Structure 1
Amino acid sequence: MTKPEILQLGPYPAWDQEPLDAAFTVHRLFEADDRAAMLANVGDRIRAIATRGELGASRALIEACPNLELISVYGVGYDAVDLAACRERGIQVTNTPDVLTGDVADLGVAMMLAQSRGIIGAETWARSGKWAAEGLYPLKRRVFGRRAGVLGLGRIGFEVARRLAGFDMQISYSDIAPKSYAPDWTFVEDAVTLARDVDFLFVTLAASAATRHIVGRDVIEALGPEGMLINISRASNIDEEALIAALADGRLGSAALDVFEGEPNFDPRFRDLPNVLLQPHHASGTIETRKAMGQLLRDNLTAHFAGSPLLTPVV
């Protein structure tokens, strides 16, 4: 039987690539010297696209594959997929939610701890010999018992808040409406008020046109010179110009970021700021989760071509 032909937009680990290659005829767009020529050659044979959250699938790419039926996203975020183009053409979209929720929440909390307690700087202090030469590392700020806000109490936001409860933190959240599954946490209607009332603000929103730059100057200044912003969602949810300016002049205390506009070529001004913790978009970057993500991506592809219901449909 002829294997379905799919277009792969970015590399996967070998444990995902090998079973993908075994099940499908895979055309690796990311390896092509001339991508336009490759699409012109194979585009009309492509029935599915295997992509990653940050790569998505543009309207131009979708239109270059006239027989496209499915876009399977390796990741929970699908904002980089042109959903309007998919709906117009009846193309289904899937992602890989749930399997990465715990790891993303873990890293968000770890970033808060590392930044608040100065863990990276303190390790450098000890390793460099400054501890012996200059004495104790400068004092930092505690985490337990302080106030945390979660902007977007979906799967990941809920798991972040659940972990923060273990630190006896006062937890507030903002979303489109109060959540019945969060009776012990305080609902706040808007992001500015939420930021004003907390010490740590976690951004865990799904990205959309409506949430673009939702964390702008007003929210950042409400969080204030003692506050910390932690972003484990999408870069588009943050106004980076406003963030960099506030970090530089002290209107915001600190930030911990796992995502950036234009990554991996993010704004170089971040590197010069001493009060920001930078991470390379690896919140889901554990072996266990990446294997589960790859399996779910393939399971959605397999279900589609078998005529079975999709496991995690978005569109």
Structure 2
Amino acid sequence: MKEFEVLVTGRMMPLVMEQLESRFTLHKLQEAADRDAFLAEVGPRIKAVATGGHVRTDGALLSRLPNVGIVANFGVGYDSVDAGWAGQHGVVVTNTPDVLTEEVADTCLGLLLMTVRELSASERYLRAGRWEKDGPYPLTHNTLRGKTVGILALGRIGKAIATRCEAFGLTVVYHGRSEQKGVPYRYYPTLVGMAQASDILISVAPGGQDTFHIIDAEVLRALGPKGVLINIGRGTVVDEGALINALQNKVIAGAGLDVFEKEPHVPPELIAMDHVVLLPHVGSASHHTRNLMGQLVVDNIVSFLSGKGPITPVAETPWPPKR
């Protein structure tokens, strides 16, 4: 299959690079000294693109690749790819669902426990020598006992989180674009309504224009002064300015965040707060899971270019294409 030429838009894990280089003629956009000249030369020959959230793969880029057939995205979220443009121009977009579901759900429950039980703060207390000097860490005001968790976006990962929450004895409710059949959890048609009914709001929502800042000041007020926000989905879903204000003024009790609006930048106001747990976007960050994700990127490209079609096309670019 060396007759096919593939473009990589940015840094990719060795597993992906090695396999693509062994099968195809590989071009690395990030190494081009003159991007425009590079695309003018190789663009018409590109049949597939491997990309990730670190690079915007939009219509402006894809239009320089008139013969591209597939964009394989590393990650379940693909808001950095203009899937709408791709669908309108006959280009299929794939992502990496399922293989990271359990890892992200595990991370979410760890983040939830760290936030509600102040485990990060209590560890810092111990490491600072305060246990011996000042006595036991103060009793935490919050607990998981008797709480209701509201999940925003009950997809694959949301359902895996819900299952784990049930095992912890939590009541689960959810909000999404529509009510799902066969789901044993109560559905709330509005996010504000679900926030009012929840003690803990967990966001698994993807990024993009449709979800931008949907967790805003009104939602945080509805969550209330004992409420906790956990975001394991995309940082752009939360209005960070409103969140900082809510945390500083005790509109909500705390937050656990694995994602941020302008990664890798984290607002210093969040870093300064003890009642906030911050992780550097590590939801799926194990060798085991990232290798599975990388392999799925490769497998999607190989399957498509061999004429078998994509393995995991996204909703905007179904396969076979709708006529």
TM range (shorter): over 0.9
How many angstroms apart in 1 are the aligned matches of 2:264 and 2:35? 21
The answer for the alignment partner of 1:169 in structure 2 is: 170
How many angstroms apart in 2 are the aligned matches of 1:40 and 1:258? 39
1:224 aligns with 2:224: yes
The answer for the alignment partner of 1:113 in structure 2 is: 113
Alignment of 1:31-42 (within 5 A): 31-42=31-42
**Once structures 1 and 2 are overlaid, which stretch shifts more, 274-283 or 53-62?**
53-62
The answer for the alignment partner of 1:131 in structure 2 is: 131
Q: CA deviation at 1:181?
A: 3.4
Alignment of 1:216-295 (within 5 A): 216-295=216-295
- Taking structure 1 as the reference length, the TM-score comes to 0.94
Q: Give the partner amino acid of 1:165.
A: E
Contact 1:300/1:310, CA 8 A, preserved across alignment = yes
Q: Give the partner amino acid of 2:298.
A: R
The answer for the alignment partner of 1:57 in structure 2 is: 57
The answer for the alignment partner of 1:6 in structure 2 is: 6
Q: CA deviation at 1:56?
A: 4.3
Divergent runs of 4+, >4 A: none
Q: Classify the secondary structure of the residue corresponding to 2:211.
A: coil
Q: CA deviation at 1:244?
A: 1.6
Alignment CA distance shift 1:244-1:33 (3 Å): farther
The answer for the alignment partner of 2:46 in structure 1 is: 46
The answer for the alignment partner of 1:157 in structure 2 is: 158
Q: Give the partner amino acid of 1:256.
A: G
Q: Deviations over 1:161-185 (max 9, x none)?
A: 10000111111111233323322x2
**Once structures 1 and 2 are overlaid, which stretch shifts more, 293-302 or 121-130?**
121-130
Alignment CA distance shift 1:201-1:174 (3 Å): same
Q: CA deviation at 1:104?
A: 0.9
Contact 2:121/2:274, CA 8 A, preserved across alignment = no
Q: CA deviation at 1:149?
A: 0.8
Contact 1:53/1:76, CA 8 A, preserved across alignment = no
Q: Between the two proteins, what is the percent identity of the paired residues?
A: 39
**Once structures 1 and 2 are overlaid, which stretch shifts more, 37-46 or 302-311?**
37-46
Q: CA deviation at 1:39?
A: 2.4
Q: Classify the secondary structure of the residue corresponding to 2:209.
A: coil
Q: Give the partner amino acid of 1:212.
A: F
Contact 2:2/2:23, CA 8 A, preserved across alignment = no
**Once structures 1 and 2 are overlaid, which stretch shifts more, 215-224 or 234-243?**
234-243
How many angstroms apart in 2 are the aligned matches of 1:3 and 1:243? 51
Alignment CA distance shift 1:147-1:272 (3 Å): same
The answer for the alignment partner of 1:182 in structure 2 is: 183
Q: Give the partner amino acid of 2:234.
A: R
Alignment of 1:195-210 (within 5 A): 195-210=195-210
Q: Classify the secondary structure of the residue corresponding to 1:221.
A: helix
Q: CA deviation at 1:16?
A: 2.7
Contact 1:3/1:23, CA 8 A, preserved across alignment = no
Consecutive unaligned residues of structure 1, counting only runs of 5 or more, are none
- Taking structure 2 as the reference length, the TM-score comes to 0.92
How many angstroms apart in 2 are the aligned matches of 1:163 and 1:179? 19
Q: CA deviation at 1:54?
A: 4.7
Q: CA deviation at 1:84?
A: 2.7
1:97 aligns with 2:107: no
How many angstroms apart in 1 are the aligned matches of 2:222 and 2:83? 34
Contact 1:145/1:167, CA 8 A, preserved across alignment = no
The answer for the alignment partner of 2:320 in structure 1 is: none
Q: CA deviation at 1:266?
A: 3.5
Q: Classify the secondary structure of the residue corresponding to 2:205.
A: coil
Q: Give the partner amino acid of 1:138.
A: P
Q: CA deviation at 1:109?
A: 0.9
**Once structures 1 and 2 are overlaid, which stretch shifts more, 73-82 or 83-92?**
83-92
Q: Give the partner amino acid of 1:302.
A: V
Q: Give the partner amino acid of 2:173.
A: S
